Amino acid sequence: MTIKSLVANVPSLTKALVSTVLCLSIASYIYIYRLQSDADPDTTPLSISPFIGLLPGFVMYAPWTFLTAAFYESNIITLSISVVVLLFCGKYLERAWGSRELLKFILITAVLSNVVTWFGILLSYYISGDDKFLYQVQINGMSGVFSAFLVAFKHLIPEHRIAIMGGKVSIRVKNLLGVATAVSIISLILFQAIVFYNLVNIGWVIGWVYIRFFKYQDGIQGDRSETFAIQTFFPEFLHPVITVISNVVYGALVKLNCCKPGPRTYHDLEIGNIAPVPGSARAEAERRRALALKALDMRLSKGPTSNSASAEPALGSKPDAVLFDADENTPSSSTTTDDLDSKK
């Protein structure tokens, strides 16, 4: 597959997102280059673009950076990774959800993850009193959006396997978020990447909240199934603790009218102690069935010949198997002879 054919098959919104990331990142590189070239030889200016990236102490003069910072990657390596991830993940989600729903999901996760990370940086400044948190720490990158993408994939195709290293290593989609969280923790410990750590772990929580309680799919708001409960994102030994915390938070949000109560109480909703009401269970089953069929159709459309080729040997391996037996509806020869004798 050539690059031209790959780009030609990308939906319109994904193309626009990739173009936005490229334009904002290149504009920031030009700004930083000119800033460094005009600076005194004795000084070393920071590689910061305060009008595109989110600078905590400067955000009051550039509030739009809560959005633009998500589409700005500060180096070529992260820019290349973001373009590749957007091309493949954005293409899949846009076809599964539609352009409007994907754009809404990206805007919500990008802005809210930047806002929460900005608040955490301010809190670090007030605790430590160090000015570097205000003017030397820049919030930028698609990390929060990409971790929310992993939540979306867990919701759509949790059991799908991704093969890497030529098929030698495979991992289920539902486990990718754990890998991303581990990478963020390692980056925080080794490189003090506090922004990357916050964006990854805040982004997936925001993505889960949106899909769990607010996203509409086939006329149903949210996904209240037990397989998508918050504790399923954590190791099993943490499930009791996470369940208690999630129940308390959910109950507080319902009282504040931030989200609607489900057909069950929030405690049983997260644990699954009682069965749902028949109407909601039927609607939920139909919604998940439609999503599974859509994902299956997308996979079959990519390689129908391989599936048919694999199905033929399966039928040929059982020569005795009969799909339709004509003898069942055709009288035998002995029966026919007896009938003739009786008539005579």
Q: Is the pTM for the entire model greater than 0.95?
A: no
Instruction: Report the first-to-last Cα separation within the chain, whole angstroms.
Output: 76
Q: Which pLDDT tens digit goes with each residue over 245-262?
A: 988 888 888 888 877 776
pLDDT at position 168, please? Answer: 79
**Is pLDDT above 60 for 161?**
yes
Q: Which pLDDT tens digit goes with each residue over 290-317?
A: 677 677 777 766 654 444 444 444 444 4
pLDDT band at residue 331 using 50, 70 and 90 as cut-offs: very low
User: What is residue 161's three-state secondary structure?
Assistant: strand
Strand runs (DSSP E) across the chain, as ranges? Answer: 161-164, 169-172, 216-217, 220-221
- Phi first, then psi, for residue 302 (nearest 5°) are -80, -35
pLDDT at position 3, please? Answer: 60
Exposure string for 50-69, b = 16+ CB within 10 A, e = fewer: bebbbbbbbbeebeebbebb
**Is pLDDT above 50 for 333?**
no
pLDDT at position 4, please? Answer: 63
Question: How many helices (H) and strands (E) in the chain?
Answer: 15, 4
Mean pLDDT across the stretch 112-116? 97
Q: Give the closest residue to 80 by CA, choosing from 138, 21, 30, 151.
A: 21
**Is pLDDT above 60 for 102?**
yes
Percentage of the chain lying above the pLDDT 90 cut = 52
Tell me which residue has tokens 């929060």.
144
Mean pLDDT across the stretch 260-284? 49
- Answer yes or no: are the C-beta atoms of 155 and 223 closer than 8 Å: yes
**Is pLDDT above 70 for 95?**
yes
Can you list the domains of the chain with their CATH numbers?
Answer: 3-234 (1.20.1540.10), 237-265 (no CATH)
**Is pLDDT above 80 for 323?**
no
Q: Which pLDDT tens digit goes with each residue over 165-187?
A: 777 788 999 999 999 999 999 99
